[in-house]
Chains A and B, each alone.
Chain A
């Protein structure tokens, strides 16, 4: 694909990414939101991270995969334990990647 067209595509991607990031901040920050709305928003962090994470662990190409070959799922268990016990961000990422790499090296 032409590099100029790729660049122009970025500008469109920038617009559709920036506006949803910016509009709520500028519109809502100066107002006092009703208490139920604030309470609802307090659940967004946990919800959005779960919605992104869990499907990537149990689904492969849209199908459930609980076979021993699904390294993403099995590596998640020690990674969760380490994150919970140590709160170490780097340790969790390093352990997860190392386990997936090791799984592929030894079992594929």
Chain B
């Protein structure tokens, strides 16, 4: 029985609870996934490759960047290196989820890790923070999310030939808008607001200083350190 069920707050089954929590991710993934599929088609990727990148790599922003690099004829090694830097933030996300998953077996952790994305991370960390650690819910969220992302990629590829530009539809704003919603849901107190503003500014300064691809991970490290520092300092 889940902690929530014991507390009597929510009597949903693990699958029902997953369906509710994954719905927003799916809503966010559909437009972005379609946009990725359209751009992949226009960059000259085959239908199989367009879908396979969503199955194998499964990383929204890295996939969109990779497609642009393929279109520009950038070398495979540079694309892989860029992907590494862009996705390194998931290292911090996995580390931040880890303390909640002590009871899991190693293979379960290895399987779960495959689908740690910005969005699944945000939903899981919000769940874990309120004590919902149900494993079935965890995996259901991950698989439904990736299935919707992969399906959207396919739809985008098919539609790609008939959509000349995605900008008039505002599709390129789905990702920033999704981050706005996720950020607001993660922000639980005034210190979080302060950390959000501080980290955002740090990232902007880093990009201005030329650290484009490293900006997310460096700013995150600085921002989390700032938050932990202020918390320690104000407690004394």
Interface residues in chain A, defined as those with a beta carbon under 8 Å from any beta carbon in chain B: 1, 3, 5-14, 16-18, 20-30, 32-33, 36, 38-59, 62, 71-72, 75-76, 79-80, 83-84, 87-90, 92-102, 104-105
Instruction: Provide the residues of chain A in CB contact with B220, threshold 8 Å.
Output: 44, 47-48, 51
Q: A44-B224, A45-B186 are in contact. Are A54 and B181 (CB under 8 A)?
A: no
Q: Is B98 an interface residue (CB 8 A)?
A: yes
* Given A13-B57, A101-B173, 4 additional A-B pairs, CB 8 A: A45-B121, A50-B219, A55-B200, A58-B204
Q: Is B130 an interface residue (CB 8 A)?
A: no
Complex CA distance for A42 and B181, rounded to whole angstroms: 18
Report yes or no: A51 in contact with B174, Cβ–Cβ below 8 A. no
The closest CB in chain A to the CB of B77 belongs to A12
Complex CA distance for A14 and B1, rounded to whole angstroms: 36
Q: Which of B23, B173, B232 contacts A75 (CB 8 A)?
A: B173
Q: Which of A7, A40, A53, A97 contacts B228 (CB 8 A)?
A: A40
Instruction: Provide the residues of chain A in CB contact with B48, threshold 8 Å.
Output: 3
Q: Is B46 an interface residue (CB 8 A)?
A: yes
Q: Is B196 an interface residue (CB 8 A)?
A: yes
The closest CB in chain A to the CB of B184 belongs to A83
Q: Is B56 an interface residue (CB 8 A)?
A: yes
Complex CA distance for A76 and B114, rounded to whole angstroms: 31
Report yes or no: A53 in contact with B200, Cβ–Cβ below 8 A. yes
Report yes or no: B199 in contact with A25, Cβ–Cβ below 8 A. no
Instruction: Provide the residues of chain B in CB contact with A41, threshold 8 Å.
Output: 92, 95-96, 98-99, 224
Closest beta carbon of chain B to A27's beta carbon, Å? 8
Instruction: Provide the residues of chain B in CB contact with A75, threshold 8 Å.
Output: 173, 177
Report yes or no: A46 in contact with B195, Cβ–Cβ below 8 A. yes
Report yes or no: B184 in contact with A80, Cβ–Cβ below 8 A. yes
Closest beta carbon of chain B to A21's beta carbon, Å? 4
Report yes or no: A51 in contact with B83, Cβ–Cβ below 8 A. no
Q: Which of A16, A55, A87 contacts B83 (CB 8 A)?
A: A16
Instruction: Provide the residues of chain A in CB contact with B102, threshold 8 Å.
Output: 29-30, 32
Report yes or no: A20 in contact with B90, Cβ–Cβ below 8 A. yes
Q: Is B38 an interface residue (CB 8 A)?
A: no
Q: A29-B98, A53-B179 are in contact. Are A45 and B53 (CB under 8 A)?
A: no
Q: Give me the 6 closest cross-chain CB pairs, A-B, nearest first.
A: A96-B177, A89-B24, A54-B200, A101-B170, A47-B223, A43-B227
Report yes or no: A20 in contact with B91, Cβ–Cβ below 8 A. yes
Q: Which of B25, B91, B171, B177 contacts A21 (CB 8 A)?
A: B91
Binds A, one of B6-14, B104-112, B145-153: B104-112
Complex CA distance for A71 and B146, rounded to whole angstroms: 29
Report yes or no: A55 in contact with B199, Cβ–Cβ below 8 A. no
Q: Mark B42-85, 1 if CB is under 8 A from A, else 0.
A: 00111011001100111101100010001001001101110110
The closest CB in chain B to the CB of A92 belongs to B181
Instruction: Provide the residues of chain B in CB contact with A50, threshold 8 Å.
Output: 183, 195-197, 199-200, 203, 219, 223
